[in-house]
Amino acid sequence: MSASPVLAVDIGGTKLAAALVDPRGCVTASGRVPTPNRPGVDGEELWRALEALLGDLVAGAGDPPLAGVGVGCGGPMTWPAAEVSPLNIPAWRGFPLRERLRARHPGLPVRIHNDAICVAVAEHWLGAGRGHGNVLGMVVSTGVGGGLILGGHLVNGASGNAGHIGHIVVEPDGPPCGCGGRGCLEAIARGPALVAWAREQGWRPGARGATGVELAADARRGDPVAGAALRRAGRAIGIAIASATHLCDLEIAAIGGGLSQAGPLLFDPLEEAFRTHARMEFARRTRIVPAALGQQAGLVGAAALVHAQDRYWSAG
């Protein structure tokens, strides 16, 4: 393993984040800028913003030699070629992100994966799943995504999309999902869907706006509709994890993302639903825990695609 840091990148709809991450998973330098995501922005303007962020970060750290570049980015994307089309970044449709980064960093490995998969990798490498061979990592936020580590190695699947738990069907006659199906976990438990459901039931957000964070805050203050919304989300997540556990024989399911900050208001109904539906003896041993690495998980997981490639990268 190289002693040099990885240049890690986390690409989101609101921010572009980058860091230098050493082989122990420690962030030694970092930076972020808002994602140029206003109407009319083209793909090249977005690329220039990312390129400037990376250049400033590396120069500010004294231009150290790099072990490689690791990136977490929203999907869909072709994998491992990483022509990216993030749903929340309209300026990039089929953008050749890996090709561009390879040209900018010739001779270095450049590895790009789904952002939720990078979070799952981080939690297995250094977080809540450390020391366990069979882990589901989940992100419950504006979307619901995940990644699977089985037998101590990241499972990619045929197209790099294994672990996409957001599209397990938990309510066959439930609400329509952005994927075109009905009753997917994401259609019920993602923050905007919860907010929409709560508003339909009569919830009136305060001055801070109609967000999942505000919904959870109102639930903590005793608002009955907000509390019901979180119970609805928890039940759906618990059912999905029970299905995943029966399929994959998991030891740990680690849940991160903004909605996970709701604490017992989410995790108590989640655990109840999981125990109701996880009836096989082996499934009952699975533990559901909060993710441990917080806001840096995506960057740490992106770095692990290079630093711990024997476990988390199987492509060319």
* H/E segment holding residue 311: helix 309-312
pLDDT at 157 over 90: yes
Higher pLDDT, 254 or 260: 254
80 band by pLDDT with thresholds 50, 70 and 90:
very high
pLDDT at 213: 86
Q: Please give the average per-residue pLDDT across 25-44, as a whole number.
A: 94
- CA–chain centroid gap for 81, Å, is 20
Please, what is the average pLDDT of the chain?
95
Q: pTM score, two decimals?
A: 0.93
pLDDT at 207: 59
Amino acid at site 24: R
CA nearest neighbour of 245 among 266, 262, 270, 265: 270
pLDDT at 289 over 90: yes
Q: Note the pLDDT tens digit of each residue in 104-147.
A: 999 999 999 999 999 999 999 999 999 999 999 999 988 999 99
Segment 44-51 long-range contacts (CB within 8 Å, at least 24 positions apart)? 45/91, 46/89, 46/91, 46/92, 47/95, 47/100, 49/16, 50/9, 50/11, 50/16, 51/104
pLDDT at 13: 87
Q: Please give the average per-residue pLDDT across 23-50, as a whole number.
A: 95
Instruction: Quote the CA–CA distance of 253 and 135 in Å, as a whole number.
Output: 6
Q: Note the pLDDT tens digit of each residue in 200-234.
A: 999 988 756 688 889 999 999 999 999 999 999 99
* H/E segment holding residue 244: helix 224-248
pLDDT at 187: 96
pLDDT at 1: 60
pLDDT at 67 over 70: yes
pLDDT at 303: 98
